[in-house]
Amino acid sequence: MQIHPSPIAFELGEVTLVDADAVRFLAVAEAAGTELRSCPLFIREWIRRGHPALMKHEGNGPAQIHGSGRNDGVHDQFSEKEK
């Protein structure tokens, strides 16, 4: 069986705010072979950690993951905000 790389890629260089569902989607997509280009470090870290907010969220609004917009990880914050 020959495995071919996915022709699909997501360009994430301008992403500064995502919710837990989006990070969960990106984690599954990457595991299936989709390339995450210019992925901000705060998203990469949440995928790597398998943060609890990604597994289950209870509340009246979506869990939100905030980053500074920087890709170097210097000022990224890992927090949740409920609407």
| Contacting residues for 2 by C-beta, under 8 A, at least 6 apart | none
Q: Identify whether the C-beta of residue 24 lies closer than 8 Å to the C-beta of residue 48.
A: no
Is residue 9 scored above 50 in pLDDT? yes
Residues 74, 31: contact at Cβ < 8 Å? Answer: no
Q: What angle do CA 45, 46, 49 make, to 5 degrees?
A: 80
Distance, CA of 60 to CA of 69 (rounded, Å): 26
Interval 14-65: pLDDT, tens:
999 999 999 999 999 999 899 999 999 999 999 998 855 555 544 555 555 5
Q: Residue 41: CB partners within 8 Å, gap ≥ 6?
A: 67, 70, 71, 72, 73, 76
pTM over 0.95: no
